[in-house]
Amino acid sequence: MSPLTRGRLCIVGAAVCWSSAGALVKYANRSLDAWQIAGGRSFFAFLLLVVLVKPWRRTDWWKPSPKLLLLSIAYPAMLIGYITALVHTTAANAIFLQDTAPVWVMLLSPFLLGERFRAGDLLLVALCAVGMLLFFNDQLTDGQAFGNIMALCSGLGFALVMIGLRWGRPKELDPNAPPPDGPRPPSDAELLIVYGNIFCVLGCLGFQGAWPPLEELPIPLATVVVLGVVQLGMGYFLMTHGIRQVSALEASLLALLEPILCPIWAFLTLHERPGPWAMAGSAVILLTVALQAFRGPGREAKERQTENGEQ
């Protein structure tokens, strides 16, 4: 299996993990408020990532660079912005506007990462936009301006996180160089999600309501643990590995599998049946992702070699 294929599979795996949020959050929300869920899942994601990433393998892990610190703050801003959007606008508006992330990535990547996009990339982003419009047909509403703005900001935050994970990926070692002594220290991308989750926990503390009685807590707490360990922690851990080989724009396009899979889990667990427009939009997005996955891998590999030679 080529590194490019392995990276794409990791990102698809991340989208599968993220897509479990809809059904699990609805279940946990019966007993817990949105801030308790967001803070709780980030706490358990943080615990998982500390075990997997082992930040202490880097001597400077406790004093992040200003750039890493700013990108880490974009992570909780993305999560908290999305929660705020859900409170002040419809779920359809929040999801649709957050999934404008590929547009932001396409605009920002040439300046922040030096990853040039081609005319074909613009076409793929346009196709995804059509698919998302079909997916949320008759669900998007006017008004609720503050929530819509927060959802857009969440989409920008998601784009910055994708760019940050791409920027902070471990650089390829010289194949002729001797192997490093001991385990590889965590990359900036891995530290980004460790810091980001603990910042999210701290950011949610002041907004949480009263917790339910102890006898009612085990089941919603177990749901939050699954959200933190599987949906958030493992999802972003897979993304940090996948984005080493895949551009930020392609990663954000592949991540659009998440809103497609969400209604499938909702149908299987909550018996919510998606409508025909949602199914049509899903088909368009799946087609776009398939086009991206099969377009010119040889040319992309050549471009990456050229990019590595310029660094």
- Comparing CA positions, the residue from 155, 156, 201, 229 lying closest to residue 38 is 201
Residue carrying the six token digits 């659009």: 256
pLDDT in tens, 39-57: 999 999 999 999 999 999 9
Above 60 in pLDDT, residue 178?
Answer: no
Q: Residues for the chain: how many in total?
A: 311
Please state which of the ranges 80-89, 177-186, 194-203 shows the lowest mean pLDDT. Answer: 177-186
Instruction: Record the tokens describing residue 203, joined without a space.
Output: 């950011």
Q: Helices 3-19 and 257-270: crossing angle, nearest 10°?
A: 40
Helix (H) or strand (E) holding 81: helix 66-88
Sequence-separated (6 or more) residues with CB below 8 Å from residue 311: 171
Q: Cβ–Cβ contacts within 10 Å for residue 50, how many?
A: 15
Distance of CA 154 to the CA centre of its chain: 11
Sign of CA dihedral 254, 255, 259, 261: positive
pLDDT in tens, 207-245: 999 998 988 899 999 999 999 999 999 999 999 999 998
Above 50 in pLDDT, residue 310?
Answer: no
The predicted model scores a pTM of 0.84
pLDDT, residue 202, reads: 95
